[in-house]
Each structure stands twice: as structure tokens, then as C-alpha cells.
Chain A
Amino acid sequence: MKMTLNAGDQIPELRVTPDKYLPHRYAGASGDFNPIHIDDEFAKAVGLPRNILHGLYSMGLVAKANAALADGDPRALKRLSVQMRGMGVPEQEIVVTGTVKSAEGGRVVVDTVATQGETALIKNAEAELEL
């Protein structure tokens, strides 16, 4: 059942803890094998705390949290625009939250953020859905 949404409503929170091997699976799925994501030693050698998550994986979680408003119907999400800021790491919980900015005539715009601990991974994300 699709939800009735109004401006100011919170969307259901999405909480995901990517496991140690998630970056490897996402690399395989996406084709992005940049070693900073899949090689802990390489990541540390270039000054990162450890191997980091793909920014587009975090964006994928934001898309998933928004698609949930339409029961996961892949036709509902019409637009998604994000800024990727902090670095995400495996084995720590990511929380995706969102607030409905406007809801008119079946067009819903949601402001979304994805955070991990104190770090904002995805900022200023705006999703537009047709519900």
C-alpha cells in the first residue's frame, strides 16, 4: 500500500550495517574496482583510515529508502540529486533519514541524508517521486 505523505512528514528510517566484504560485492556489481574501496592496505597507504565505501553505494541506499515510499516500485523515483561528502566505512551502521519537503498532486519531494556515526555520507539529497 502506498503511503499518504504530507510536507514535514518523516520517511521511514533505513538502517544498514555493510559487512566487511560489502565493498567487494558492490565493486563486482557496479564494475568500480578502485583499490581504495577493496584493498585495506592500499587505502591506508594513501592516507585513508581503511578501505572506504563507494559513494554511489551510499547513494543507492538513499534511493532504496525513497523507493520504499512506493513499496519499492522502481518506476516511482523520477529524480535523485545528492552531494557525497564524508567517507563511509564497512562494519558501521548507516542511517538514512528523510523529510517530505513538498507533496502535491502525487509528486513528492523528499530531503534525505545518510549518516554513519558523526559523519554525513550523503548530504543535500533531494528525491522526487511520483506516487
Chain B
Amino acid sequence: MALKTDAVGKEWPGSTYQVGREKIKEYANALGIDNPVHHDVEAARAAGFRDVVAPPMFAVVYSSPAVAPAILDPEVELNFAAMVHGGQAFEWDEPACSGDEITTSTKCLSIEEKDGKGFYVFETNSVNQDGGQVARGTWTLIVRGV
């Protein structure tokens, strides 16, 4: 059965995430990242940040909520139960700091079949409240048995 590819090129509107100090700390603690710029506002300011700054991979925290509606969109027809997260890329520009409001939009880049598996690739683009580019993500989701 051919994979449905109608959703290629489809875009989903931005979802906004407000970055907070405690959430950054919680993420840093889970990863065992002890650099004080992620935990202490004075240390962050001394290092040139406007507030406590997020580790780069905190990008998953503010951008994942924008990916969920794309994955669950009936037009995409992605079998969530057979899905694995096969690949991920991020490119970072401005650091994300506590107090930032980051808006992430999602686009379906491609849907392809390879070796009986469906490869669904989505792109997220995250900008802050000043319109500054924060991160761009590429999410590769693999569905077995398509």
C-alpha cells in the first residue's frame, strides 16, 4: 500500500512556550548539567545572559508541543503506535533564557517509504518574542510496517 503523502508541505500554526527558571533547572538537573548559568540568575547575568539560560537541548521542551499536533493530524495518517523517533537535528541561534516567549511552527518536509518503513520528516522553527531566531529542528519519525 502506498504511503499517503498529501500532508507534505503542510504547515501548522505556531504554539508559544514561556521559558521559566525552574523548568530550566529541572531539565539541567535531569541531564546532570551543573553549569551555574542554568541554575542561578546572578551567574547567568555575569556570563552575559539576560536571565537563567537554557542548555541547547532544552529546545525539545519548547518545540515538542508544536510537533504533537502535526504527528496527530489525521491528514498525516501517521501510525503513532508503531512510531519510533529515528533522528533529530537542531541548529541554534540565540540562546533561550527565562522569561522568553518562544513560538514554534511546524512543517511537514517529507513522507517517504524505505524498506517497508515510513519516514516522516518535520521541521520546526522557533523564534523568540523579539523575532529572533532561536532554533530550527528536524524531526525524523520512523513507522514500522507501512
Contacts and interface: CB of A to CB of B under 8 A. Distances in A.
Given A29-B26, A64-B31, A82-B87, A77 B60 contact: no
Contacts, number: 94
B35 A72 contact: yes
A7 B19 CA distance: 37
B87 A83 contact: yes
Contacts of B10: none
A80 B89 contact: yes
Interface size class on chain B is 20 to 34
A60 to B, nearest CB: 4
Nearest to B38: A74
A30 interface: yes
B27 A63 contact: no
B92 A79 contact: yes
Interface residues of A, number: 32
Given A72-B33, A81-B89, A84-B87, A29 B55 contact: no
A71 B30 CA distance: 19
Contact of B29 (A29, A55, A84): A29
B71 to A, nearest CB: 12
Contacts of B33: 64, 67, 72
A96 B10 CA distance: 37
Q: Max chain B CB contacts within 10 Å: which of A25, A29, A63, A73?
A: A29
Interface of A: 16, 22, 25-26, 28-32, 55-57, 59-61, 63-64, 67, 71-75, 77-85
Give the top 10 A-B pairs by smallest Cβ distance, nearest first.
A81-B89, A72-B35, A29-B30, A29-B27, A60-B57, A63-B57, A29-B26, A25-B30, A77-B56, A26-B30
